[in-house]
Copies of this chain bind each other. A is one copy, B any other.
Amino acid sequence: MSDALDQFTRRMAQIKRLSEVAGLLGWDQQTYMPPGAAVGRGEQSAVLYRLIHDMLVGPETEALLSGAERATAGEDPESDAVRMVAAARRDFDRETKVPSDLVAEMSRHRAISHSVWVQARKASDFTAFAPALEKMMELTRRRAECLGYTEHIYDALLDVYEPGMKQADVARTFAELRPALVELTHAIGESSAPVDAALLHRTYPVDVQRTLTLSLAAEFGFDLRRGRQDEAAHPFCSGFNRDDVRITTRFDPDYLGQALYATLHETGHGLYEQGYPPQYDGTPLGAGCSLGIHESQSRLWENLVGRSRAYCEHVFPKLQAAFPEPLAGESAERLYRAVNAVRPSFIRVEADEVTYNLHIMLRFELECALLTGELAVKDLPDAWNAKMEAYFGLTPPSDAEGVLQDVHWSEGLVGYFPTYSIGNLVSGQLWNAIRKAVPDIEEQVRRGAFAELLEWLRANIHRQGRRYLPGELVQRATGEPLTSRYYVEYLRTKFGEIYAL
């Protein structure tokens, strides 16, 4: 390795290690930190993040990055070195394009806006939140202008989470998806098939849930020597590096679905994080490709595997052995129907597989319109409710159950929502490719054999780290660009059968 590349790599490793430490601060805050420690934790995070930012954008890093670019100029564009330098350049440009004054102003406003939103949601009063959102949108527009774009202002923001993807790509994909989902939702609403989730809403002792969910994570292949599971109010996965990956879940003694599917979902994220190749440790390549690709992994294990009939047949005997009382007289088939009950609702985070993406489309359309100024903030609740009516046939009884339900906009996370749907679509597209590569995959799942599935994901997704942009990665893994086709097919087949459509 050239000296220039070596020096650059060492600098990147320092920054990466400090980012891992910042990750631990976040994990601890959501799991074990005493409540009284919040102010001090804020100070610790602020000092550490400022330090990381200064290291990342400082002139020393810029000089080392330019040196590394010169040193790798003639090399194979597929080589790790070239890919690493390219990823670092994207990070560097993104961090430096926005002037620090604007970064600081957004950071200050984010704190205010978030707490205003918390109060407004509690009071279900959108007008109380409107001025803060107005300002957040204005700051977000300025940020997008700094980041730059060629076609649509939204592109600048989306690129932060889903590098290389454009507003037009999302709009086109959603345009294909929307009529199919609306139609399917409507047909399910008309169905009289006996599908309900009642068996999940019984008494499931938390201690047993804890042991059981951990064993299910391990069975998928989550390595407990390099990871663990804890509890958190809002389940998440923190992967500091491939050898320290921590998933969290939440237990509800009266609802098995909460911990069970939170665990399978976070395990999907965790398997991805544990699967980066060791040689990417401490480099810009040792991370997930994008938020959408990350979500494809969690959704694949949660839904394509975890909500399949094959998995229900595999897991039901374990569940019944662990919870003999609430599951007495039940069956794998009744479990399968319970975990696939579809019911249009107001709340995104409670949505089933069929209606979930409609929630995302609604938000995507509204945030695009807010950003371009087509929609005024004051008109947002009406626009929200009109779309709810159009997509779900429902009108939210209050702003708290409508336009105020999500935290994202209050924190300036515009361009983030589509990544959830991209994750769903990619999970369907990957599953289609896996079924071709591993024809007996359903039989394997039924037997509780997940190794071949995991190895396919390792080879095609996990071990690629951040080598490719998400579009490239999907193309390489499946032979096609991102499409909604397989996800729609999957939903139609599965729910068509369950609901006898």
Residues of chain A touching chain B, judged by Cβ–Cβ distance below 8 Å, are 13-14, 17-18, 20-21, 24-25, 28, 32-37, 39-41, 43-44, 47-48, 51, 223-228, 230, 240-241, 243-246, 281-282
Complex Cα spacing A18 to B244, Å: 21
CB <8 Å contact, B14 and A244 = no
A33 closest partner in B (C-beta): B244
- Nearest Cβ on chain B to A9's Cβ, whole angstroms: 13
Neighbouring B residues of A36 by C-beta, 8 Å: 223, 225-226, 243-244
- Bound form: Cα–Cα A17–B228 in Å: 27
- CB nearest to A240 among chain B residues: B40
Number of copies: 2
The answer for the CA separation of A17 and B230 in the assembled complex, in Å, is 26
The answer on a CB contact under 8 Å between A228 and B34 is yes
Task: Assess whether A47 is in contact with B28, with CB atoms less than 8 Å apart.
Answer: no
On chain B, the residues within 8 Å of A24 by CB distance are 24-25, 28, 44
A28 lies within 8 A of B28 (CB): yes
- CB-nearest residue of chain B relative to A241? B40
> Which chain B residues border A241 with CB–CB below 8 Å?
37, 40
A48 B18 Cβ-Cβ under 8 A: yes
Q: Is the CB of B244 within 8 A of A41?
A: yes
Q: Known interface pairs A40-B281, A244-B34. Does A47 touch B14 (Cβ–Cβ under 8 Å)?
A: yes
Q: List residues of chain B with CB within 8 A of the CB of A48.
A: 17-18, 21
Q: Smallest distance from the beta carbon of A207 to chain B beta carbons, Å? A: 10
Interface contact A44-B20, CB-CB below 8 Å = yes
Looking at the assembled complex, report how far the CB atom of A3 sits from the nearest CB atom of chain B, in whole angstroms.
Answer: 21
Beyond the given pairs A24-B44, A36-B225, 9 more chain A to chain B contacts, judged by CB atoms under 8 angstroms and listed by A's residue number, are: A13-B47, A17-B48, A18-B48, A34-B226, A34-B243, A36-B226, A36-B244, A37-B243, A41-B244
- Asked if A243 contacts B47 (CB within 8 A), the reply is no
Q: Within the assembled complex, what's the spacing in Å between the Cα atoms of A36 and B37?
A: 28
Q: What is the minimal beta-carbon distance from A241 to any residue of chain B, in angstroms?
A: 5
Shortest C-beta distance, A335 to chain B (Å), equals: 31
Q: Contacts A44-B20, A47-B18 given: A244-B25 contact, CB under 8 Å?
A: no
Partner of A40, one of B37, B43, B244: B244
A34 to chain B, nearest CB (A): 5
User: Is B28 a contact partner of A44 (Cβ separation < 8 A)?
Assistant: no
**Complex Cα spacing A224 to B35, Å:** 9
For A32, list chain B residues within 8 Å (CB).
32, 228, 230
Expressed in whole angstroms, the minimum distance between the Cβ of A299 and any Cβ of chain B is 25
Interface centre among A17, A18, A240, A281 (most CB of B within 10 A): A17
In whole angstroms, what is the CA distance A241 to B42 when docked?
A: 13
Contacts of A18 in B (CB 8 A): 44, 47-48, 51
> What are 24 A-B pairs with beta-carbon distances under 8 A?
A18-B44, A18-B47, A18-B48, A21-B21, A21-B44, A21-B47, A24-B24, A24-B25, A28-B28, A32-B32, A34-B227, A34-B243, A34-B245, A35-B225, A36-B225, A36-B244, A37-B226, A37-B240, A37-B244, A40-B241, A40-B243, A40-B244, A43-B282, A44-B240
Q: Which residues of chain B have C-beta atoms less than 8 A from A224's C-beta?
A: 34
Of A37, A228, A243, the most chain B CB neighbours within 10 A belong to A37
| Chain B residues whose CB sits within 8 angstroms of the CB of A43 once the complex forms | 13, 17, 282
Instruction: Decide: B34 and A17 in contact? CB cutoff 8 A.
Output: no
* Closest-CB distance, A472 to chain B (whole angstroms): 28
- Which residues of chain B come closer than 8 Å to A21, judged between CB atoms? 21, 25, 44, 47-48
